[in-house]
Structure 1
Amino acid sequence: MKKLLIAAAALIAAPLSAQPVAITGGKLVVGDGSPPIENGVVVINDGRVVAVGGPGTTIPAGATIIAAPGKWITPGIVASFSRIGLVEVDGGVPGADDSDADDSPYSAALDIGWSVNPAASPVAVSRADGVTRAVIAPNAGEHIFAGRGAVIDTAADYDPITRPRAFQLVELGERGTSLAGGSRSAAYLTFTEALRAARDGRQPGGPDDSLWTDADLRALAPVVRGEEKLFVHVNRAVDIVNALKLRREFPRLDMVLVGVAEGWMVAREIAAAGVPVIAEPLLNRPDSFEQLAATQSNIGRMRKAGVDVSVSLITEWVSRGARNQRQYAGNLVALNRVPGHEGVSWDEAFAMITSRPAAMVGMAGEIGVLKRGARADVVVWSDDPLELSSAAEQVWIDGVQQSLETRQTRLRDRYRHIARQALPPSYRK
């Protein structure tokens, strides 16, 4: 632990790049869905990308050159929906899960940014696998409003918040139904009454004054005005359509749909509304009544209809999911080879874990891409990052090269060279 703290302190003290760094010679992926650039060059300086291109790209005098022939150079992965930094151990272990507040009188007003622990083990594990930013979401406690999510970086420091209060999360599917009293009618009434109260500046009230507090209504006011994103968790096709109808009364809602297991059934409606979605790429059979039409072709079919999609494993609700983003994307590419299924191209799949989630939280061009002016989040991979056999070999966040050490690598290094006779008897079998 002492060594970990010393290493973290050293990284906190590290300044942004004192001189330009040019990474050259690899297969460069911009992250916006365009094809890779062979023998690409990316130049970073003072925490930002200053140049991107092919072999003829101008490299500033005095730049540190990192040759990466045979490697892949990409923007850092942006986890589109996760709880890294909120959960240390899965399974609701007391003291290890800060993702919800079951006993709090507050709901929409809860700001998950205050709960992020950048020293949590899953943060380092995600960083070592190329995840440089994460959209972190609260978990609904006893109310349909879960609270305000944030965007964080995964650097080894104690100031992880990139964008606080980036969105409000509301449950309007089966989970919202159970929290609102047992029916979707109750969930939608609770939701619309809260937005009306926030819009009209009303004081808390209603049949149960504990439904929301003054702080909750103040937190919902920017959502109604379209100044803060609204993430709506729905899966059933009719729930998706009903969520889209909410903009008839609240036309400024800047909505993102989360889950959308049956999205392919109403893909044209989603595309026409211009609402992006965060969907599960592995869901191939229902685990609830709101997912009866689930299929792994869901994302491919929605993309074919023109829906803007990011990928994440929503139902897992666990801390470890962020580092699996590239596996989820890779599965969508492989799905093209399965008869009767629809996947997406490699370029599309990679954009779904980089630039697309960035745009969904209002950070298009800022993170998830290698373009001039973007934050210098860069990863050098041993090979194709959507292949599980590949590994992140070098990672920069805001232009600062990061340690890829984790608790797992330290345990590996500690025990890999111990002589068999030095082990306790019980370990020698």
Structure 2
Amino acid sequence: MKKIVLSVLAVAALSLQGRAQETYPRNGVYDERTGLRAFTNATIYVDYQTKLENATLVIKDGKVAAVGTKVSIPRGAMVTDLKGKTIYPGFVDPYSNYGLPAVSRQAVSYGSPPQAESKKEGAYNWNQAIRPETNAVELFKVDNKAADDLRKLGYGAVLSVHQDGIARGTAALVSLANKRENQVILLDKAASALSFDRGSSTQEYPNSLMGAIALLRQTYLDAQWNLQNPDKEQNLSLKAFTEANRLPQIFEVSNKLNAVRADKVGDEFGYQYIFKGNGDEYQMLPEIKNTKAPFILSLNFPDPYNVEDPYETRRIELDDLKHWEMAPANAAILAKEGVTIAFTSADLRDKSKFLANLRKAVQHGLPEPEALKALTLTPARLVKAEKYVGSLQEGRQANFVVTSGSLFEPTTLLLTNWVQGQEYRISETPADFRGVYTLKIGSQPDRKLIISGTPEKPDLKVVAPDTIKGSLTMSGEMLTFAFAPAKNSKENIRLTGWYTGKSFQGEAQLPDAQMVKWTALLSEAATQQAKRDSARTKASDPVQLGSMVYPFAAFGRTALPKAETVLIKNATVWTNEKEGKLENADVLLRDGKIAQVGKNLNASGAKVIDGTGKHVTPGIIDEHSHIALDGVNEGTQAVTAEVRMSDVVNHEQVNIYRQLAGGVTTSQLLHGSANPIGGQSAIIKLRWGQAPEKLMFEGADPFIKFALGENVKHSNRSPVYNVRFPQTRMGVEQVMVDAFQRAKEYQKAWGDYHQLSKSKKAKTAAPRRDLELEALVEILNDKRFITCHSYVQSEINMLMKVADQMGFRVNTFTHILEGYKVADKMKARNIGASTFSDWWAYKMEVKDAIPYNAAIMHNVGVTTAINSDDAEMARRLNQEAAKTIKYGGVSEEDALKMVTLNPAKLLHLDNRVGSLKPGKDADVVIWNEHPLSIYARPEKTFVDGIAYFDLETDKALQEAQEKERLRLINKMLAAKAKGEKTQSAPSGRRFGQVLHCEDVDNGAEEVLYESEYGQK
């Protein structure tokens, strides 16, 4: 065991240091005291791993002067004997809003007029959500009541963060002493703070998570440019942002996905964030570990649900049930994997649960030293304040907690909390009266009295000769109780008395109202009984947790499926190649690729599937989808080419699995249609269970969403929303012309800069990088490709004309319900079409839609696909393709190509997917019958040769889920029976699951269901 010894000379030297030299004048005489105190005979944790027995702690001038087992007590010190007590370093909360004004958030409804520009006056950032000039220390005020609440939890210092906006400014480390502000501030700028939440900003941009991410990226770029070009623009926000980035950066996230997303931004600009997490990090453990980031974890664990009503219980998602069980193990799981963790009281509405939840985390596998480290040294180190707080080494702040025993024992109490050498009482040590007593009441026969339970909540039983439980009330050393003299007796003996050392005495009233004396003498077995009772209190059954599933959602699996060598025999094979449809043919899948297609194939070691009577096709490709996204529109500005759908892919959304069940293997996730030039697309493979990064289609060309028509000019929004340009179809054209003109000028500016740099003829500043314009330059250079939402002939003609004028190409017109009117022009420009089969009459601009549209475009020679734009329709795209046979007489093979090979061509992926050709990706579907039949159902869907959907596996998954639900429900019922508080089942569906082209996001991390008709 490590020992720390401090000489008397060292104590004397320290006594000359640290005296507060106040600059404030005083009225009256001075009474400076050193606060020289010595605490002896205590168990002292100098830090999380250094435990001293029978040790002494000396403090002076609010700091630690000495600590050790052989410390000489300085002359004049006030000595406190803490025999049997334990001293811990004061806890440090690394994420608090203590002492700061509340953030006022003004509600912005769907019908509120938009605010395009910042209302903050001065040379500050254009966006109100970027507020790095905010310094918490300038807003900080000591709050004695709030400080007292935190001290009762064991905290002595906190990091005060003004939790408002995306770039939130700097945070201050302060102590919780009841002193002036200038005396409690330990570090005025200890960290900077970030989030994806725009906070109190009433400015419309960003109103989506992807917009918040894009704004943060652009802010980093703008700050770099501003630093290099101070003569170009004076921007106090960007200067403050640059300064704040030199501090530890704490990034608050609302879930584990946003931690991974934020980490990508940090990596892009060379910053390692500290994440204030949400407690669900264990659900993406490999990705969380890969961030290499420390995590600040709240001890706010969910209450069990009230699951007594079976109908109400069906509304509770399986992952919510599982999270209730697993949340307390989050810290242990992260710590075991080497993730640095710290604890905060933030988010804990009921602060009385803090210690209980801390102990619950330990019970769920977190080692006690790691738990103590997460409360003390780690949060101090995160903000580089370990020389002030986090341990009781000499020179540190005299912040420490005195407890009645081990912090992690359920019966231990926090007695006092010392902050900067000042004592704050929390509770008194309750007397321990537990034991076995001989009870004498007047002249009645002796009885046995047993006091058990805990010192705080003792239980009482009387053996007379039956064991009868009595009601007990204790106040200090006073005791009052009553019991029935025999079982089933309606009468009671009532006693009141006091403790006299090893016994009780007092007066009792018998059932006949006679008053008599009584005593209760401690017997020899009392000590053993108390020990047995304490052991019972301490001991607990090992915590049993359910299995992790991937993804952490319904239909998640305990282990991800793996690629196998698979030979499908004797099936009808739709190749989509020159071989056409093959009867009684075989398909061999090996190493994630299609190895062979033909008859009478053999493969050693392959898993053989009998395809007799079945059909095999390439996987369906959905060119226009909005599944698996946390937000679909950044509709606040006319041009938002800077936002990226890849930033907000959510791998846990169940529609991935549902669409696999419909034979879909690849989807293009498009931005919505709220603006003429929207965001950048993400193309994913439906690898159910993999993290977002692993869903991405490797090597796919980048795309972007454009839009025409009613949505972009806000025809369906409130009249107060008519301030954003464009408001007419003519304006849409001008927005696009203007955007590409700016992009051309941007490209030229960079070209000129690079030319001058190469020639070395002149030194010139680099142009400001603009992520919006960079995406448009990629279009001009055929490095990014357009999918354009469109309906009306005139607008389609307009965009083709603008493309010709500005020198770019439209890759695909999507929806294109009047495509039959302009098919010849599209063919001439090699523009593809991705349309609906028979949607019409759902708004004005589709009044000329006809079900023959796809067939007409196909017959003209336009590459034509059928898309979903709808999570439900995507599960039956094979049936949508079949409609082109009825409406237009398209051949069966060409109809199937409209949802396989043709969308692959539109996405420039036909060299990888879309047909069954050796060497292509093994994205294959086995159907129970003809794939264009309404009775067709996928039995297996392979992605890269892995069966991500299988009917038999699906059946087993559903059975396993029901068993898991029942297990968790029974566990919650048991928790309620033990007296745990419960929460109600959610009143409605979970937000963020099903989004459509017109849906509008409200708030950077909040998804609001809002259709074009204003329905929620």
Give TM class, smaller chain: 0.7 to 0.9
Map 1:306-317 onto structure 2 (within 5 A): 306-314=861-869
For 2:873 and 2:960, the matched residues in 1 are separated by 22
Q: Counterpart in 2 of 1:209?
A: none
Aligned 8 A contact 2:549 2:559 in 1: no
Q: Counterpart in 1 of 2:682?
A: 150
Q: Counterpart in 2 of 1:215?
A: 771
Structure 1 position 160 matched with structure 2 position 695: yes
TM-score normalised to structure 2 length = 0.36
Q: Counterpart in 2 of 1:287?
A: 842
Q: Counterpart in 2 of 1:16?
A: 563
Partner-residue secondary structure (3-state), 2:697: strand
Map 1:112-131 onto structure 2 (within 5 A): 112-131=645-664
Unaligned residue ranges in structure 1 (runs of 5+): 87-96, 205-212, 336-341, 419-429
Partner-residue secondary structure (3-state), 1:168: strand
- Structure 1 residue 101: deviation in Å? 2.7
Map 1:29-428 onto structure 2 (within 5 A): 29-32=574-577, 35-53=580-598, 55-56=599-600, 58-86=601-629, 98-102=631-635, 107-141=640-674, 143-156=675-688, 157-158=690-691, 159-163=694-698, 166-178=702-714, 180-201=725-746, 214-283=770-839, 285-314=840-869, 318-335=870-887, 342-404=888-950, 410=958, 414=962
- Structure 1 residue 409: deviation in Å? 7.6
Aligned 8 A contact 1:83 1:99 in 2: yes
Aligned 8 A contact 2:878 2:932 in 1: yes
Q: Single out whichever of 68-77 and 401-410 deviates more from structure 2.
A: 401-410
CA RMSD of aligned residues (A): 3.0
For 1:387 and 1:11, the matched residues in 2 are separated by 34
Unaligned residue ranges in structure 2 (runs of 5+): 1-318, 323-545, 715-723, 750-768, 967-1016
Q: Single out whichever of 30-39 and 63-72 deviates more from structure 2.
A: 30-39
Partner-residue secondary structure (3-state), 1:201: helix
Change (3 A) 1:104 1:4: farther
- Superposed CA deviations along residues 236-276 of structure 1, whole A, max 9, x for unmatched, are 11222222223322344252111111111222222222210
Aligned 8 A contact 1:79 1:135 in 2: yes
Q: Counterpart in 2 of 1:210?
A: none
Aligned partner of 1:149: which letter?
S
Partner-residue secondary structure (3-state), 2:910: coil
For 2:578 and 2:695, the matched residues in 1 are separated by 27
- Structure 1 residue 106: deviation in Å? 7.4
- Structure 1 residue 68: deviation in Å? 0.8
Aligned 8 A contact 2:575 2:916 in 1: yes
For 1:194 and 1:407, the matched residues in 2 are separated by 52
For 1:237 and 1:408, the matched residues in 2 are separated by 50
For 2:881 and 2:956, the matched residues in 1 are separated by 24
Aligned partner of 2:645: which letter?
I
Structure with the higher fraction of residues in helix conformation? 1
For 1:37 and 1:202, the matched residues in 2 are separated by 51
Change (3 A) 1:194 1:351: same
Q: Counterpart in 1 of 2:998?
A: none
- Superposed CA deviations along residues 360-383 of structure 1, whole A, max 9, x for unmatched, are 111112112111111111111100
Partner-residue secondary structure (3-state), 2:800: helix
Change (3 A) 1:186 1:393: same
Aligned partner of 2:892: which letter?
W
- Structure 1 residue 145: deviation in Å? 1.8
Aligned partner of 1:130: which letter?
G
- Structure 1 residue 78: deviation in Å? 0.7
Partner-residue secondary structure (3-state), 2:872: helix
Aligned 8 A contact 1:32 1:355 in 2: no
For 1:37 and 1:321, the matched residues in 2 are separated by 28
- Superposed CA deviations along residues 221-244 of structure 1, whole A, max 9, x for unmatched, are 111111111112221112222222
Q: Which structure ranks higher in relative contact order (CA pairs < 8 Å, sequence separation ≥ 6)?
A: 1
Aligned partner of 2:709: which letter?
G
Change (3 A) 1:182 1:104: closer
- Superposed CA deviations along residues 195-246 of structure 1, whole A, max 9, x for unmatched, are 1222231699xxxxxxxx9211112111111111111222111222222223
Higher-Rg member (1/2): 2
For 2:707 and 2:612, the matched residues in 1 are separated by 47
Aligned 8 A contact 2:666 2:686 in 1: yes
For 2:558 and 2:594, the matched residues in 1 are separated by 20
Partner-residue secondary structure (3-state), 1:368: coil
For 2:637 and 2:739, the matched residues in 1 are separated by 18
Aligned partner of 1:59: which letter?
N
For 2:635 and 2:809, the matched residues in 1 are separated by 27
Aligned partner of 1:389: which letter?
Y
For 1:160 and 1:321, the matched residues in 2 are separated by 21
For 1:382 and 1:4, the matched residues in 2 are separated by 33
Aligned 8 A contact 2:547 2:558 in 1: no
TM-score normalised to structure 1 length = 0.81
- Superposed CA deviations along residues 57-112 of structure 1, whole A, max 9, x for unmatched, are x43333332221110011111112111112xxxxxxxxxx5112345897111110
- Superposed CA deviations along residues 159-186 of structure 1, whole A, max 9, x for unmatched, are 2111567311111223233364221221
For 1:320 and 1:237, the matched residues in 2 are separated by 28
For 1:119 and 1:129, the matched residues in 2 are separated by 18
Aligned 8 A contact 1:203 1:214 in 2: no
Aligned partner of 1:293: which letter?
D
For 2:947 and 2:955, the matched residues in 1 are separated by 19
Aligned 8 A contact 1:108 1:148 in 2: yes
For 2:621 and 2:796, the matched residues in 1 are separated by 25
- Structure 1 residue 38: deviation in Å? 0.4
Quote the sequence identity (%): 22
For 2:876 and 2:578, the matched residues in 1 are separated by 20
- Structure 1 residue 343: deviation in Å? 3.9
Aligned 8 A contact 1:33 1:347 in 2: no
Change (3 A) 1:294 1:402: same
For 1:313 and 1:266, the matched residues in 2 are separated by 22
Aligned partner of 1:111: which letter?
R
